[in-house]
Structure 1
Amino acid sequence: MSSSEELTRKFARRFVAMGDSFTEGVGDIDPSSPNDVRGWADRVAAQLISNDSSWGYANLAIRGKKLEQVIDEQLHAAIDLKPTLLTLYAGGNDIIRPTVDLERLMSRYRAAVQKLREETEARILLFTGFDSAKAPVFNMTRGRTAIYNEHVRKVAEDLGCEIVDFWNMKRMQDWAYWDVDRLHLGIAGHTLMAKEVLRVLGETDEIDDPELDAMPAVSLYDRTKDHLTWGRDHFYPWVRRRLTGASSGDGMSPKYPQLTDKVW
């Protein structure tokens, strides 16, 4: 018997998370965690295991991955782990590219969810994309995200999946929930997302509400300076990676490629 088969036998309930940086946990810095990040999925897993010790957890997500990469690299691995709960979010890295064929991508998304439905008995949670109406630069992609969300909602309806509705989590439009790069949730954002996922699951939630630091009033000069600093330190490096074909996830491995109950 392989080690993977032994683990699936060990854990009666198996949570498998698929995706990109959002699910890997980028922005929730934790040097004690694999890849130096924790994230909402780890927090959900820790709570599930606390509620019921029969849970095992695997996180296959890797930062920088586009939707088709997530499908090609994670789908079969997820199926092999025989999940009883599976979360999938991918597509954000496609939406913010200069061009994207959403109809083709979402056709692949539907096919991937269909395969998960056919080959596992998992409860499947899908995510809508974030409403970037108040986000500088990325607010230009809001229309694409709305189209993406309509596809996600239709796939969920047709295939019997549940939705974590990130689009309507309007509290997240407060930048205090985000990392300094404005691309990823910060510790508070990942904590709030974990609580929302647990709410959708109907699971006991003992996670403390995130505490936000009061945001001081900022002058126009300081706000402009902050935008310029953000552009230099975060936006332009992101653009450079896109132009060179590099990814923030190059050379990285999944945090938890096999089922475990050792999550904090």
Structure 2
Amino acid sequence: MSEFSDAEESRQPGTVAPPRHPWNRYIAIGDSFTEGIGDPEPNSPGGHRGWADRVAEDLSRGRDDFKYANLAIRGRLLQQIIDGQLEPALALKPDLISISAGGNDLIRPGSDPDHLAERLDAAVGRMSAAGATVLLFNGPDIRDTPVLGMVRGRVAVYNENLRTIALRHDAVVADMWSMRQLRDPQMWSPDRLHFSPLGHHNIAIMVLDTLNVPHELLPMLPKPLPVQKWQAARAEDLVWAREFLFPWVLRRLRHRSSGDGMSAKRPTAGPVFGPGLGTGLPLSH
């Protein structure tokens, strides 16, 4: 049972419960990670749920005045996020804003994590100056992940720069690098580039813990996959390469993005649960 539940039980009748957190308006910006790709949900705007929606669901619990917008679009590079999402996000007057950006840059040949950090630093400075709590994400440890594992060194350098940025602007870091459970294959979607619903769920728990928000979400610890014979594993690799890797490489060669022509799934700040989106009670799965 959570501390919040314990406090509810011990509270005397007639007293007012203290607020679980200080935020009324949460705006999320970024790329496919924040959009929620890998976590399909037909009843969510855009057809995807993701960690940001899951966090907003819990933040909205018991708060009729809570508003949420998600401006993230898959495939966006850091500068595209800054140019296309930062001003609209600030215009929505957030008191909590999250940004996860730079991952699509780092997987491109010749990307410079120090240069990326300089651009992110300026953007975070603007968010902080607007009076919002700024939530940053470092990259996960992707050493065992196909394609992404090749840029592990760049991610590590970028992460260290990000910690400096957070200290400079009094931002909060959601530390995915230390989430060892993300090494489990069940935390990743079949494309091996995005997180699965289970991965998004565990990241949402980490975010709420980082923000020191009491919640009742429980980590879903998966059982280890059975050991495969090498022939079966290679066959799966070939299927993955044909369905996901080759199309991804082809888009890079053509300078195209999976987000071309896409728009934000929640472009305005509003209640987390609108018409047809549930009862306002957070889901834990």
Do these two structures clear the TM 0.5 threshold for a shared fold by scoring above it?
A: yes
- Residue equivalent to 1:198: 208
Tell me if 1:117 matches 2:136: no
More helix by share: 1
SS in 1 for 2:237: helix
| Contact 1:51–1:204 under 8 Å retained in 2 | no
Alignment partners' CA distance in 2, 1:80 and 1:153:
26
| Contact 2:56–2:272 under 8 Å retained in 1 | no
Match for 2:28 among 14, 17, 23?
A: 17
Alignment partners' CA distance in 2, 1:178 and 1:202:
26
Quote how far apart the aligned CAs of 1:183 are.
0.5
Aligned residues: 252
Alignment partners' CA distance in 2, 1:51 and 1:190:
23
Q: Which has the larger radius of gyration?
A: 2
Match for 2:153 among 117, 129, 143?
A: 143
Alignment partners' CA distance in 2, 1:262 and 1:25:
15
SS in 1 for 2:164: helix
One-letter amino acid of the structure 2 residue matched with residue 30 of structure 1: E
What are the ranges of 5 or more consecutive residues in structure 1 without an aligned counterpart? 1-11
Q: TM-score scaled by structure 1? A: 0.92
One-letter amino acid of the structure 1 residue matched with residue 112 of structure 2: D
* 1:41-60 aligned within 5 A: 41-60=52-71
| Contact 1:31–1:37 under 8 Å retained in 2 | yes
Alignment partners' CA distance in 2, 1:160 and 1:197:
17
* 1:182-197 aligned within 5 A: 182-197=192-207
- Residue equivalent to 1:3: none
* 1:1-264 aligned within 5 A: 13-118=24-129, 120-210=130-220, 212=222, 214-263=224-273
One-letter amino acid of the structure 1 residue matched with residue 165 of structure 2: V
Alignment partners' CA distance in 2, 1:37 and 1:212:
22
One-letter amino acid of the structure 1 residue matched with residue 145 of structure 2: A
One-letter amino acid of the structure 2 residue matched with residue 82 of structure 1: K
Quote how far apart the aligned CAs of 1:245 are.
1.3
One-letter amino acid of the structure 1 residue matched with residue 179 of structure 2: M
Identity %: 43
